[in-house]
Amino acid sequence: MTVSTLLRRFESAEVAMTVYGPSEATAVVERLANQGIDATWRKLPTGEQDAFVVVRRDGVFAGTIPLTALQAFLCKPTVGSTDSGPPDSDPSRQLLSSALANTLLSSLTPAQLLATSHEFEDRAYRVGEGTLRVSFQSLSIFRSQRNRYETLARDTALDIHVYGRADWEPPTISGITFHPLTDEALEQVWLLAFDAAGDDQNKCALVAEETEDGPFRGLWTYNPRLVDEIMATVAAVDE
């Protein structure tokens, strides 16, 4: 199975958001629609601070959050930019993160993907063991992340595997195995998967594919079965 077929399975995932608030709230509805999310605005004289969003998954009420939390989330979908930062504890962000997990988003920017990658790397750092597989499209992109990964490899017992097109000769770093890609299966793909040494509570993965017109389409997931599947897909690439 390739990453593309994996992503295609999530095209029909049903997340719907209804935004209640004054007309200023319509901008966020457009942004959601750009991500391929079913979003509706219903006028309500709440005042901007009290505007809110109702999230439904497969038609079932999943939760409600302040509109301001959704706006912040769309700018930066995950928190955790520091290695020692606490896990994401804000309930609104948790709801959005879990509501949008397993949902194919059609317009992700590199900044959003990087933020999510960092959150998952932080999680791997905290767990401290297990296998982490990362694909940065080209190995040369790894250069900008080198310090983070040297810290990850030095401070933990993680088994780290980095994939990418062979456009750069990587250094030898204990704990990190580089996999120069010879076929094109992963070249359009930004991917990170962590098996948390078998602990289902901490498994996570991010898969995104670069589209022809620029942005990435992809998803992140905490579903352990899906993470296992993604791990296996990546591991099979250079077998």
Partner 1 sequence: MNQYEQPAETPELSSERLDTLLRALAAEPRRMIYTYLAEHDSATLTDLTDVVEGWTRARGRATDADNWDDTRTALHHRHLPVLDDAGIVRYDVAQQTATLAPLPPSTTQVLATIIDLEIDYGD
Pick the stretch among 63-71, 124-132, 194-202, 230-238 that binds partner 1 (CB under 8 A).
Answer: 63-71
- Interaction between residue 138 and partner 1 (CB under 8 A): no
Cα 239 from Cα 235, distance rounded (Å): 7
Which residue matches tokens 């457009």?
30
Closest to partner 1 by CB, 39 or 227:
39
Cα 120 from Cα 76, distance rounded (Å): 14
Of the candidate residues 13, 33, 66, 187, the single one contacting partner 1 (CB under 8 A): 66
- Interaction between residue 73 and partner 1 (CB under 8 A): no
- Interaction between residue 45 and partner 1 (CB under 8 A): yes
> Are 89 and 97 within 8 A, CB to CB?
no
Of the candidate residues 15, 20, 37, 215, the single one contacting partner 1 (CB under 8 A): 20
* Distance of alpha carbon 26 from the chain centroid: 25
List of residues 6+ apart from 67 with CB closer than 8 A: 19, 21, 25, 28, 48, 51, 52, 53
Pick the stretch among 26-34, 41-49, 118-126, 154-162 that binds partner 1 (CB under 8 A).
Answer: 41-49
Q: Which of 192, 188, 181 lies closest to 213, judged by CA? A: 188
- Interaction between residue 44 and partner 1 (CB under 8 A): yes
The minimum distance between CB 67 and partner 1, in angstroms, equals: 8
- Report how far apart the first and last C-alpha atoms of the chain are (Å, whole number): 14
Q: In what order do the strands lie in the sheet with 52-57?
A: 38-43, 15-21, 52-57, 60-66
The minimum distance between CB 44 and partner 1, in angstroms, equals: 6
Of the candidate residues 2, 18, 102, 145, the single one contacting partner 1 (CB under 8 A): 18
- Interaction between residue 43 and partner 1 (CB under 8 A): yes
Torsion of CA 124, 125, 127, 132, to 10 degrees: 30
- Interaction between residue 94 and partner 1 (CB under 8 A): no
Closest to partner 1 by CB, 65 or 176:
65
Q: Which of 107, 101, 131 lies closest to 13, judged by CA? A: 101
Provide φ and ψ at 104, rounded to 5°.
Answer: -75, 115
Closest to partner 1 by CB, 45 or 214:
45
Of the candidate residues 6, 7, 13, 54, the single one contacting partner 1 (CB under 8 A): 54
Of the candidate residues 15, 51, 189, 226, the single one contacting partner 1 (CB under 8 A): 51
Kindly state the number of chain residues that form the binding site for partner 1, as judged by CB under 8 A: 19
Positions in the binding site for partner 1 (CB under 8 A): 18, 20, 42-47, 49-54, 61, 64-67
